[in-house]
Amino acid sequence: MSERPTLVSSSKTFGGSQLRLRHRSQVLHCEMTYSVFLPPQSLAGARVPALYWLSGLSSTDENFMQKAGAQRVAAELGIAIVASDTSPRGDGVPSDPGGGWDLGLGAGFYVNATREPWARNYRMYDYVVDELPALVEEEHSLSDSRGISGHSMGGHGALVCALRNPGRYRSLSAFSPISNPMRCPWGEKAFSHYLGSDRKDWHEWDASELLSGASERLPILVDQGGADPFLETQLHPEALRAAAERAGHPLTLRMQPGYDHSYFFIATFIEDHLRHHAKALVR
């Protein structure tokens, strides 16, 4: 178990509390921050369910909380929102030697790295699946009823975390996920550094590959902007759709004409996603 977190900031919103906290991660071997919205039901003593949000490349735990406008509906539904950072950080944590933004700091890709110099710190999968939920469920008295969602690299992470852990999450969704990272430039760069050059080792971190062997049929909601500049080169939602059709896996993939990759897009459809999760999380 990680040591107890320290409070960085706190604000009241929609009758609940928006918190940012810092703790020492035993998994990542560095200081980490996370953000959590606690709805008014939680402040009144209820153990509420939580939606875990994973953000995209170059983001932090704050982007979603400040830009998505999710707190109003989460407060109505009685759902906490937990947002992790997107990578380990701090002195001694390696980053892209070429100075890029799509590897290293801000770009952990929610995998467990096996290659040096990444293996010690870059275990974001273990962090978001195990360490962070154990910490926040104890610290903030949340229930173990969990949903997971994310955007872009975080959408990839949400899909992989749920598909690899049947029974751990009750609901799943994504915005503009990197659906087939084995076959896009962002994923190929990250996987070759974190996991090595043997592409067979990449399959267990690719949602379009994992769907074929998924033992749980957790319904997936995906929204994808039709004007997203990364749609054809990086995201490949058609691969996810084809994999779901082959596996008979329930997938609702909504192409949204005119919308891009930004948080304006996420803010437009976040209420639909929160209500999708509430159907499974709120009893």
The tens digit of pLDDT for each residue in 262-274 reads 999 999 999 999 9
HSE on the CB side for 115, CA within 13 Å? 12
User: Which one of the listed residues 228, 236, 273, 277 is annotated catalytic?
Assistant: 228
Q: 179: pLDDT confidence band, cut at 50, 70 and 90?
A: very high
Selected catalytic residue, list 25, 87, 152, 171: 152
Instruction: Collect all residues with Cβ–Cβ distance below 8 Å to 45 and sequence separation of at least 6.
Output: none
* Residue 1 resides in a domain: no
Percent helix, strand and coil across the chain, each to the nearest 5: 40, 25, 40
Specify if 204 maps to a domain.
yes
Beta bridge pairs of residue 255: 224
Q: What domain range is 247 assigned to?
A: 6-281
Tens of pLDDT, residues 84-141:
999 999 999 999 999 999 999 999 999 999 999 999 999 999 999 999 999 999 999 9
d(CA 259, CA 162): 26
For the chain, the domain total comes to 1
193 classed as catalytic: no
85 included as an active-site residue: no
Identify whether 15 is part of a domain: yes
Task: For residue 203, tell me if it sits in a domain.
Answer: yes
Contact at 8 Å (CB) between 178 and 231? Answer: no
Does some domain include residue 179?
Answer: yes
Domain CATH number, residue 136: 3.40.50.1820
Q: Among 236, 261, 273, 277, which one carries the catalytic annotation? A: 261
Whether residue 152 lies in the annotated active site = yes
